[in-house]
Structure 1
Amino acid sequence: MTPRRKSGPVQLDQREILYRGLDTFAELGYDATTVRELARRLGVSHNFINDRYGSKANFWRAVVDFALSDIQAERDALLARYRDDEERLRSAVGQLYRMAANASQLSRLIADESTRDSDRLDYLHQRFIQPFWDSITPTATALVEAGRIPRVAPHILYFAIVGPVLALTQNPVADRLDPAAAPTASGDRDRTADALSALVLHGLLPPAPRP
């Protein structure tokens, strides 16, 4: 039996490999992303993914780990700055929306995988979704008990906060709805994220009535 030929030298560094993998999975979806297509976009032998990562599934997990690196630590540091529950929630939501606006490929990947019951969703739930929710649950619970947030099922509150993030991945739609304000530059993406989070939080946490 002829041994499988190992892939040759790779011209890309590890970060670029993972960036391109993220772009491909976000654009095509996991099932439509073949090992051959990944190899074409990376400019490597079709053996490369299996040789280096063992399988397409392992490569997908490496891409997700790369995309999510440091996110939770940054959120924990942000939440530690505030004692007021409203400020903590506003900060966490603002950070989430800015992250989504500036990392739209990751947001597209999460949104796509969230529609399917799979091992990949389990991985995203363990690595990102549940840690995010755990980090803001005490704050949200305190605001519910104080009457500042309506008392609804936890998953409804989750969707109210996280659902609008999907809009930040839909620049082609935004361009058609408002051609004069196409959100392409980095500053525009931040402003779009801040405007959307302000709108969502105004509905979730309306200004307290004056005495």
Structure 2
Amino acid sequence: MPGEPEVLLRGLQAFAELGYDGASARELARRLGVGPTFINDRYGSKAAYWRAVVDAALGGQLTRMAPAAPGSGDEDVVRQFVREFYRVSSGEPYLALLMADESARDTERLDYLFQRYIEPTLARVVPSIERLMASGRMARVSMDLVFFAIITPVSGLVQEPFARRMGRIGHLTQADGLARAEALAALVVDGLLASGDAAHR
């Protein structure tokens, strides 16, 4: 029987590939190599297993996001946040797929993700964004548009089949992936700040 980390990793892969509804208890048990009652016996329900899966994946990801240095200016705070978000996301394609799928569905699972992980994480950078808007360094738009501009480009780091069709050549090393995350972060943040400059010319 696989150990707990493997049980949670395989669950993440299953939910990412099949969606919550498509990942039946029978299919989950098959992928885990366990008996049909394992999920209920260990976690109590498929919903509780899903929460354990995302807690392990997202909790681990967010703890790896290094904060900006104390005393950093607002632009540096935003730049560091985006850089770290892309850095940790680049190695988590299954988590990105799960988040994209759940974000499109109005469910209790999205409430769980938002209240436990998304909202507290975004709160780290919202004050800096608001001050940049107030100072004219960033265009005044609704906060949801800002975060869509930040979050959506993650697909360029994790959707390998599409990226290859868009011209990516060869297999990327870990160093290549981190360099791409850095380049994407610079592109996105420079774009957000340039939009503020353009609005005040």
**What is the RMSD computed on CA atoms of the aligned residues?**
1.9
User: Which of 18, 21, 27 is matched with 2:17 structurally?
Assistant: 27
Is the 2:61–2:89 Cα contact (8 Å) retained in structure 1? no
Partners of 2:64 and 2:101 lie apart in 1 by 24
Identical amino acids, percent of aligned pairs: 46
Is the 2:25–2:39 Cα contact (8 Å) retained in structure 1? yes
Query: Does 1:83 find its partner at 2:42?
Result: no
- Corresponding residue for residue 177 of structure 2: 189
Between 173-182 and 24-33, report the one with greater CA deviation. Answer: 173-182
Whose helix fraction is larger, Structure 1's or Structure 2's? 2
Partners of 2:168 and 2:63 lie apart in 1 by 37
- Aligned-residue offset at 1:74: 4.4
Highest CA radius of gyration, 1 or 2? 1
TM-score, normalised on structure 1?
0.87
Query: Could you give the per-residue CA deviations for residues 126-172 of structure 1, whole angstroms, max 9, x where no partner exists?
Result: 12210121111011111111111100011111111112123322111
The 5 A counterparts of 1:88-99 are 88-99=77-88
User: Which of 146, 154, 161 is matched with 2:135 structurally?
Assistant: 146
Match of 1:206, as an amino acid?
A
The 5 A counterparts of 1:166-181 are 166-181=155-170
Partners of 1:106 and 1:73 lie apart in 2 by 15
Unaligned runs of 5+ in 1: 1-10
Partners of 1:96 and 1:82 lie apart in 2 by 20
Is the 2:90–2:157 Cα contact (8 Å) retained in structure 1? yes
- Aligned-residue offset at 1:68: 1.5
Query: Could you give the per-residue CA deviations for residues 62-101 of structure 1, whole angstroms, max 9, x where no partner exists?
Result: 00000012444444x5135452111111010011111111
Query: Does 1:58 find its partner at 2:48?
Result: yes
- Aligned-residue offset at 1:46: 0.7
Query: Does 1:16 find its partner at 2:3?
Result: no
- Corresponding residue for residue 5 of structure 1: none
Query: Could you give the per-residue CA deviations for residues 95-125 of structure 1, whole angstroms, max 9, x where no partner exists?
Result: 1111111111111111110001000000110
Partners of 2:183 and 2:189 lie apart in 1 by 10
- Corresponding residue for residue 69 of structure 1: 59
Match of 1:112, as an amino acid?
D
Partners of 1:73 and 1:66 lie apart in 2 by 11
Unaligned runs of 5+ in 2: none
- Corresponding residue for residue 30 of structure 2: 40
Distance 1:56 1:136, change over 3 A: same
Match of 2:30, as an amino acid?
R
TM-score, normalised on structure 2?
0.91
Q: How many residues are paired up? A: 197
Match of 2:109, as an amino acid?
R
- Corresponding residue for residue 8 of structure 1: none
Partners of 1:27 and 1:157 lie apart in 2 by 28
Query: Could you give the per-residue CA deviations for residues 26-48 of structure 1, whole angstroms, max 9, x where no partner exists?
Result: 11111100111111111100110
